[in-house]
Every structure is written in C-alpha cells, then in structure tokens.
Structure 1
Amino acid sequence: MFREIFGNLFHSITFSPSWRTSTAVALALQMYESRDFGAMPILADALQHAGCDSADVLDHCRGPGPHVRGCWVVDLVLGKE
C-alpha cells in the first residue's frame, strides 16, 4: 500500500506534462472520483500513446495493485502534489 501511494522513494520519476492528455486526465479523474481503479491498464495505454516511456509508470498502471485513491500515477496525471 505504501508504494501505491508514494511510489519508489529510492528512484525519482520524471513525469512530462505532455503525457497529461485529455484522455489520460479523464481516465484518472474518473478513477479518482469513483475509487474504481479497473481502468489502470487503459490509463497505461493512454500514457504510452502520449509518449510516456517510463517503465515505472507503465508497469505500475499495468500491475495487479491494489490501486487506491492516492495512487501516485493518478495523482501525477491529475497534477496533484
């Protein structure tokens, strides 16, 4: 659960603002508000389509979870710090 919210504290992640497409933001917002994170693999596809090549980000989205509100990838997409 700790890594779900904070990610890997020993490896910094660079998140490009160009990955914040309308599709990625809409998916992240829907998951954040509904607390249903079943679309995480779809978010990975949207981020990859936007040019994301971060294995940490994509693997986290495609991983089994559990994913919860406060997920570091969803928060990055939504611009939450």
Structure 2
Amino acid sequence: MEGQAQADLARDIFGNPFRPVDFASAWRTDTVLGIARELYASGDFTALPVLGDALQDAGCDDEAVLTHCRGAGPHARGCWVVDGLLGKA
C-alpha cells in the first residue's frame, strides 16, 4: 500500500515524463492563473476540478491535463499541472 501511495504522489508531481505537456499561453487566463495561484498558496487542492473547468473554458483540450485536474488524486503542492501553469516546472 505504501508503495502505491508513493507512486500516486510521484505521478501528481511529475506527470508522465514520456508525454510532456506544452502549456499554451492561451490557457493562462486571469481566471486560470488566479485559481492556480490560490491552490499553490493554500496547499488545498480540492478545487483542482474547478481549475480543469477553467482550463477547458480557456481552450485547453489536452486530455492528460483535464483528466489530472478532475482525478481523485492525491494532489499536493508540486502538482505538475499547477506548477506548469505557474512556470515553476
């Protein structure tokens, strides 16, 4: 069980290294960045599905990004989607 939890957390932080995502500048709307900054600052990722909706509204159709945002997690500071949007990756 511990090994699985660690693997899940690693996927949250690193994503799929064999399929890197190019975070389009068009996705970085004020709404998307505001949500991402709040998630990062608070460490509370329960609103990650809201970020997924905002990304989709901004034109994101990347299935890996949207699925990750809407997935059960675990999610933590260092999340590859949030860090990618904020330029921390």
Q: Name which one, 1 or 2, has greater alpha-carbon Rg.
A: 2
One of 14, 19, 28 as aligned partner of 1:20 = 28
- Does 2:26 correspond to 1:33? no
Instruction: Return the alpha-carbon distance in structure 2 between the equivalents of residues 76 and 17 of structure 1.
Output: 11
CA distance in structure 1 between the aligned counterparts of 2:61 and 2:23, rounded to whole angstroms:
10
The corresponding residue for 1:2 is 10
Count of aligned positions:
81
Unaligned 5+ runs, structure 2: 1-8
Instruction: Map 1:1-81 to 2 at 5 A.
Output: 1-81=9-89
Query: What is the RMSD computed on CA atoms of the aligned residues?
Result: 0.7
Distance 2:60 2:68 in 1: 13
Question: Given residue 38 of structure 1, which amino acid in structure 2 is its aligned partner?
Answer: T
CA distance in 2, matches of 1:78, 1:10: 21
* Distance in 2 between residues matched to 1:76 and 1:4, nearest whole Å: 12
**Sequence identity percentage:** 57
TM-score, normalised to structure 2, is 0.87
TM-score with structure 1 length normalisation? 0.96
